[in-house]
Protein backbone atom coordinates (compact mmCIF):
# COMPACT_ATOMS: atom_id res chain seq x y z
CA UNK A 1 0.00 0.00 0.00
CA UNK A 2 1.25 3.45 -0.87
CA UNK A 3 2.02 5.87 1.92
CA UNK A 4 2.37 8.83 -0.42
CA UNK A 5 -0.63 11.10 -1.01
CA UNK A 6 -2.32 10.92 -4.38
CA UNK A 7 -3.23 14.41 -5.63
CA UNK A 8 -5.47 15.27 -8.57
CA UNK A 9 -4.78 18.56 -10.36
CA UNK A 10 -7.39 19.81 -12.83
CA UNK A 11 -8.91 22.92 -14.38
CA UNK A 12 -12.70 22.51 -14.56
CA UNK A 13 -15.33 24.73 -16.19
CA UNK A 14 -18.65 25.48 -14.46
CA UNK A 15 -20.29 22.73 -16.52
CA UNK A 16 -17.63 20.16 -15.54
CA UNK A 17 -15.83 20.26 -18.90
CA UNK A 18 -12.06 19.88 -18.78
CA UNK A 19 -11.25 19.44 -22.45
CA UNK A 20 -12.26 18.75 -26.01
CA UNK A 21 -9.66 16.74 -27.85
CA UNK A 22 -6.32 18.49 -28.08
CA UNK A 23 -7.84 21.97 -28.25
CA UNK A 24 -7.32 24.38 -25.34
CA UNK A 25 -10.66 25.68 -24.08
CA UNK A 26 -9.36 28.75 -22.24
CA UNK A 27 -6.26 30.84 -21.72
CA UNK A 28 -5.27 31.14 -18.05
CA UNK A 29 -1.54 31.80 -17.62
CA UNK A 30 -1.99 31.97 -13.83
CA UNK A 31 -3.41 28.43 -13.85
CA UNK A 32 -0.46 27.18 -15.91
CA UNK A 33 1.92 28.71 -13.33
CA UNK A 34 -0.04 27.04 -10.52
CA UNK A 35 0.05 23.70 -12.36
CA UNK A 36 3.81 24.00 -12.72
CA UNK A 37 4.23 24.83 -9.01
CA UNK A 38 1.99 21.94 -7.90
CA UNK A 39 3.69 19.36 -10.12
CA UNK A 40 7.37 20.36 -10.22
CA UNK A 41 9.70 17.66 -8.94
CA UNK A 42 6.96 15.02 -8.78
CA UNK A 43 5.80 12.06 -10.82
CA UNK A 44 2.95 13.10 -13.09
CA UNK A 45 0.42 10.41 -14.03
CA UNK A 46 -1.69 11.00 -17.13
CA UNK A 47 -3.69 9.17 -19.75
CA UNK A 48 -2.59 8.74 -23.34
CA UNK A 49 -4.79 11.52 -24.76
CA UNK A 50 -3.47 13.98 -22.17
CA UNK A 51 0.08 12.99 -23.09
CA UNK A 52 -0.73 13.50 -26.78
CA UNK A 53 -2.20 16.96 -26.06
CA UNK A 54 0.97 18.02 -24.20
CA UNK A 55 3.19 16.36 -26.80
CA UNK A 56 6.36 16.05 -24.72
CA UNK A 57 7.71 15.37 -21.23
CA UNK A 58 7.38 18.37 -18.94
CA UNK A 59 10.70 19.62 -17.52
CA UNK A 60 11.36 18.86 -13.85
CA UNK A 61 8.71 16.14 -13.66
CA UNK A 62 8.58 12.47 -14.57
CA UNK A 63 5.65 11.59 -16.81
CA UNK A 64 3.86 8.27 -16.43
CA UNK A 65 1.48 7.56 -19.30
CA UNK A 66 -1.34 5.07 -18.80
CA UNK A 67 -2.28 3.35 -22.06
CA UNK A 68 -3.42 -0.05 -23.32
CA UNK A 69 -1.42 0.41 -26.55
CA UNK A 70 1.42 -2.13 -26.36
CA UNK A 71 3.26 -0.33 -29.18
CA UNK A 72 3.30 3.04 -27.42
CA UNK A 73 6.80 3.95 -26.20
CA UNK A 74 7.17 7.74 -25.91
CA UNK A 75 10.62 9.20 -25.45
CA UNK A 76 11.12 10.65 -22.00
CA UNK A 77 8.14 9.00 -20.29
CA UNK A 78 7.36 5.87 -18.33
CA UNK A 79 4.51 3.74 -19.67
CA UNK A 80 1.99 1.74 -17.66
CA UNK A 81 -0.62 -0.66 -19.02
CA UNK A 82 -2.83 -0.70 -15.90
CA UNK A 83 -3.78 1.72 -13.15
CA UNK A 84 -2.05 -0.41 -10.52
CA UNK A 85 1.12 -0.47 -12.61
CA UNK A 86 0.94 3.31 -13.09
CA UNK A 87 0.60 3.83 -9.33
CA UNK A 88 3.49 1.45 -8.64
CA UNK A 89 5.71 3.38 -11.06
CA UNK A 90 4.52 6.65 -9.50
CA UNK A 91 5.42 5.40 -6.02
CA UNK A 92 8.87 4.24 -7.15
CA UNK A 93 9.60 7.45 -9.04
CA UNK A 94 8.36 9.66 -6.18
CA UNK A 95 10.66 7.91 -3.75
CA UNK A 96 13.60 8.14 -6.19
CA UNK A 97 12.91 11.86 -6.75
CA UNK A 98 12.35 12.62 -3.08
CA UNK A 99 8.80 13.75 -3.92
CA UNK A 100 6.16 13.96 -1.22
CA UNK A 101 3.22 12.92 -3.44
CA UNK A 102 2.06 11.49 -6.75
CA UNK A 103 0.15 13.89 -9.03
CA UNK A 104 -2.61 12.92 -11.46
CA UNK A 105 -2.95 15.32 -14.40
CA UNK A 106 -5.83 13.88 -16.43
CA UNK A 107 -7.77 13.29 -18.47
CA UNK A 108 -11.40 12.66 -17.75
CA UNK A 109 -11.30 8.86 -17.87
CA UNK A 110 -8.30 8.70 -15.55
CA UNK A 111 -9.83 11.21 -13.12
CA UNK A 112 -12.99 9.07 -12.97
CA UNK A 113 -10.95 5.92 -12.27
CA UNK A 114 -8.76 7.45 -9.59
CA UNK A 115 -10.89 9.99 -7.68
CA UNK A 116 -11.93 7.25 -5.24
CA UNK A 117 -8.27 6.72 -4.34
CA UNK A 118 -7.18 10.36 -4.18
CA UNK A 119 -6.28 12.22 -0.99
CA UNK A 120 -6.51 15.78 -2.29
CA UNK A 121 -7.99 17.67 -5.24
CA UNK A 122 -6.36 20.89 -6.48
CA UNK A 123 -9.01 22.28 -8.80
CA UNK A 124 -9.05 25.47 -10.79
CA UNK A 125 -12.72 26.36 -11.17
CA UNK A 126 -12.98 28.26 -14.46
CA UNK A 127 -15.83 30.73 -14.89
CA UNK A 128 -16.81 29.48 -18.37
CA UNK A 129 -19.22 26.88 -19.78
CA UNK A 130 -17.59 25.66 -23.01
CA UNK A 131 -18.72 22.60 -24.93
CA UNK A 132 -16.34 19.68 -24.55
CA UNK A 133 -16.08 15.92 -24.59
CA UNK A 134 -13.96 15.39 -21.46
CA UNK A 135 -15.48 16.08 -18.05
CA UNK A 136 -14.33 15.98 -14.44
CA UNK A 137 -16.16 13.64 -12.06
CA UNK A 138 -18.62 15.20 -9.60
CA UNK A 139 -16.97 16.36 -6.37
CA UNK A 140 -19.20 14.84 -3.70
CA UNK A 141 -19.40 17.17 -0.65
CA UNK A 142 -20.02 14.12 1.54
CA UNK A 143 -16.57 12.83 0.53
CA UNK A 144 -14.62 16.06 -0.07
CA UNK A 145 -14.22 19.10 2.17
CA UNK A 146 -13.11 22.44 0.72
CA UNK A 147 -10.06 23.64 2.66
CA UNK A 148 -8.88 26.61 0.60
CA UNK A 149 -10.22 28.99 -2.06
CA UNK A 150 -8.50 31.85 -3.85
CA UNK A 151 -10.67 33.74 -6.37
CA UNK A 152 -9.29 35.78 -9.29
CA UNK A 153 -11.06 37.99 -11.85
CA UNK A 154 -10.40 37.81 -15.57
CA UNK A 155 -7.57 40.04 -16.76
CA UNK A 156 -3.81 40.12 -16.88
CA UNK A 157 -3.83 37.60 -19.72
CA UNK A 158 -6.45 35.39 -18.06
CA UNK A 159 -9.50 35.33 -20.33
CA UNK A 160 -11.93 34.27 -17.60
CA UNK A 161 -12.36 34.55 -13.87
CA UNK A 162 -11.26 31.51 -11.87
CA UNK A 163 -10.76 30.14 -8.38
CA UNK A 164 -8.00 27.92 -7.06
CA UNK A 165 -9.80 25.45 -4.78
CA UNK A 166 -8.32 22.71 -2.60
CA UNK A 167 -10.42 19.78 -1.41
CA UNK A 168 -9.30 17.22 1.17
CA UNK A 169 -10.89 13.82 1.61
CA UNK A 170 -13.11 13.92 4.71
CA UNK A 171 -12.37 10.36 5.81
CA UNK A 172 -9.13 8.93 4.47
CA UNK A 173 -10.01 5.48 5.78
CA UNK A 174 -12.97 5.42 3.34
CA UNK A 175 -10.72 5.85 0.29
CA UNK A 176 -10.11 2.90 -1.94
CA UNK A 177 -6.67 1.53 -1.14
CA UNK A 178 -3.80 2.19 -3.51
CA UNK A 179 -2.21 -1.22 -3.74
CA UNK A 180 1.31 -1.41 -5.05
CA UNK A 181 2.08 -4.76 -6.65
CA UNK A 182 5.70 -4.41 -7.67
CA UNK A 183 6.66 -2.65 -10.86
CA UNK A 184 8.73 0.47 -10.88
CA UNK A 185 10.67 2.27 -13.50
* Residue 160 near residue 154 (C-beta atoms within 8 A): yes
- Condensed to tens digits (0 to 9), the pLDDT of residues 154-169 reads 999 999 999 999 999 9
Q: What pLDDT shows up at residue 21?
A: 78
Residue 131, judged by CB atoms within 10 A of its CB (0-12, 13-18, 19+), counts as exposed
Q: pLDDT value at position 2? A: 57
**Domains (range + CATH), the chain:** 6-174 (3.40.430.10)
- How far CA 5 is from CA of 2, 54, 125, 159, in Å, comes to 8, 24, 22, 32
| Contact assessment for residue 155 and residue 161, using Cβ atoms and an 8 Å cutoff | no
Segment 92-120, tens digit of pLDDT: 999 999 999 999 999 999 999 999 999 99
Q: How confident is the model at residue 175 (pLDDT cuts 50, 70, 90)?
A: low
Question: CA 49 → CA 16, 21, 107, 132, distances in Å?
Answer: 18, 8, 7, 14
Predicted pLDDT at 171: 84
Query: What digits encode the pLDDT tens for the residues 20-78?
Result: 877 789 999 999 999 999 999 999 999 999 999 998 999 999 999 999 999 999 999 99
Query: Residue 174: pLDDT above 90?
Result: no
**CB of 148 within 8 A of CB of 166?**
yes
The pLDDT value recorded for residue 176 is 59
Amino acid sequence: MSNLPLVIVAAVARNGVIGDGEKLLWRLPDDLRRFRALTMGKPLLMGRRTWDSIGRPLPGRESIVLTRDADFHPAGAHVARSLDEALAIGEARARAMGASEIVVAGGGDLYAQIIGRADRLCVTEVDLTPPGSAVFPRIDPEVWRETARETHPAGGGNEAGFSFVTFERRDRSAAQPVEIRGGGA
